[in-house]
Structure formats: C-alpha cells, structure tokens
Amino acid sequence: MAAAKRRFGPIDILVNVAGTAETGDLQAYAIDAFDRLFSLNARAPFLAAQAVAADMPSGGRIITIGSIVASRAPGAGLTLYAASNAALGGLTRGLARELGPRGITANLIQPGPMDTERNPADGPHAEQNRAPLAIRRHGTPDEVAGLVAYLASAEAGFITGATYDIDGGWSA
C-alpha cells in the first residue's frame, strides 16, 4: 500500500480480492487453520482498508469480494471458510458507518460459483456447484467486474454498507 501511495498518491478505490479455503471435517482441521483462514480472508481486507482510509478522499470506494458461502453454505466441511467470509459483512458495515461521514462508501460482493481457474465450469465439482442455482451456469469474472465497476462509479455514491450476492440465484 505504501508503495502504491508513493507512486500514485492517495488511493480512491480499493478492491479487496484475496482469499483461501480449507475444507473438511470439523475435527480434522489443523490447529492453526482458523488463524490462516481469518488472516487472509478477514484480516487482510481490514488492514488494506485501514492503510488507505487515512488519506482516502471523499468519494472514495472500498469494495470487498467475499463468497456467497458466507450466507449459505451448501454442505458440510465449510465451517472456517464460511465464518471467515461472514466476517466481511461486519467489516463492511463497520467501515460504512465509520467512513460514511467522509463521503467514502464500503460494500461487499459475494460471488457464487464462478468460472475461474480454481473453480472451472467444466471441473470435477461443476455440476454439484450449479445444482442450487436458478441460472444453471457458472458466473464469469466479467460479471463480477461489472458490479465492481458500478460500485466504484459516481452513480453508486449513495450505496454503502450493502452486500451484493452475484450468485445465479444460489441464495434465492
């Protein structure tokens, strides 16, 4: 963050998009799994927001990418992934309240199954991922990017503290 600020000046749009998953039986989680998942999935977005907020100008945007699993886990084995992503909702609402008086918005996007290298639409779990969807296909990174672009725009200046599910009806 410091290098970006030195090169470009104050950051006016932050998109937090990083995460990891560890899945499995509750009893099988390694003792440090909680710390690993919360460190990347929840702590890193907090630290990034903290790093830019001090000098973010009015009209700034903080947009965090989480996962629909925070709202609706499709099955067992996702306890820590779901919990670490659910923390982003509280973080987003807290940032919205804290930074709103300065004209800075904070919003959360929760994608469902997306056709990515990590979760390909033709991968071994693709049919299982699409089963709960109303629109029976994987989403695309471009669809998520379109929502990010909107939330970063001037037209979204009155939207803050919101969570957007872009999930093909997973949560419907």
Does 81 participate in catalysis according to the annotation?
A: yes
Concatenated DSSP letters of the chain: -HHHHHHH-S-SEEEE-------S-GGGS-TTHHHHHHIIIIIHHHHHHHHHHTTPPTT-EEEEE--GGGT---SSS-HHHHHHHHHHHHHHHHHHHHHGGGT-EEEEEEE-SB-SSSS-TTSTTHHHHHTT-SS-S-B-HHHHHHHHHHHHSGGGTT--S-EEEESTTTT-
Instruction: Return the bridge partners of 64, or none.
Output: 16, 108
- The residue from 29, 81, 150, 164 that is catalytic is 81
Q: Which residues are part of the catalytic machinery?
A: 81
